[in-house]
Structure 1
Amino acid sequence: MTRYEKAMRPEDITRLFVERSNAGDAAGVAALYEPDAVLAYPPGSQTVGRDAIRALWQKVLEARPRFEPEEPLPTLISGGLALTSTPPRDGAGARAQVARRQPDGSWLRVLDQPEFVPPPGDAPA
């Protein structure tokens, strides 16, 4: 079993997502989510659970998309929940995630509303 760096601040999740996605590590991306997390993707539907999220990212990462680090917007924390977000490149809409503090003090995503990422084969030329 691979041991992954834990997100010790909610904002760390975005950095770890970029690193793991760019490395093609779908299991590492999925490890950033709670076991029953909900990802609002593909557009118009939901992917529920870490295993389903891993399978989805495996397909997406086969196309070798490149993710760039982004400056996060201010994080809102209330008790053991955090709302993180980053502005989309086109300035329209928003990307937002809810993370929950884990018993060891680390953070995992519970809800994820990403910006649209084209499915494999649908990427613009």
Structure 2
Amino acid sequence: MTEREKAGKPEDLTRLFVERANAKDAEGLALLYEEDAVMAYPPGQQTVGRAAIQKLWEGALPHMPAFEPEEPLPTLVSGGLALTSTPPKDGSGARAQVVRRQPDGSWLRVLDQPEFQKPTD
């Protein structure tokens, strides 16, 4: 495994995610998550644990178009926890993540909700 950039602040995780997704780096994406992280993806399901998240991305990335950076909303920080979020460019809901500061000062995702959908009437 090569040495990869770590998130020095919570907002870095979004940028690193886009960079690694566009590089089709499933292992690098998984390394943005804690070992027991939970991702609400694919829609309607949960993927639990770094190994499962890596496996999911190994299968999905080859079929996905390029990701575009999205401007993050202001991050909420409380001690060693933070809530990051971005509104998708296509206006289709929102994305949100709970991230935690690691012992080395870097940040990793704990909970990831990559697709909130607007409720339909």
Structure 1 residues 79-88 or 60-69, which shifts more? 60-69
Aligned to 2:101: 101
Aligned to 2:29: 29
Aligned to 2:81: 81
| Preserved CA contact (<8 Å) 1:24 1:64 | no
Gaps of 5+ in 1: 117-125
Aligned to 1:66: 66
Structure 1 residues 89-98 or 78-87, which shifts more? 89-98
SS at match of 1:109: strand
Aligned to 1:119: none
Aligned to 1:19: 19
Measured in 2, the distance between the counterparts of 1:95 and 1:22 equals 18
For residue 62 of structure 1, report the CA deviation from its aligned partner.
Answer: 1.2
Is the strand fraction higher in 1 or 2? Answer: 2
Q: Deviations over 1:7-63 (max 9, x none)?
A: 000000000000000001000000000000000001111000000000001111111
Identity fraction in percent:
77
Gaps of 5+ in 2: 117-121
Measured in 2, the distance between the counterparts of 1:93 and 1:18 equals 18
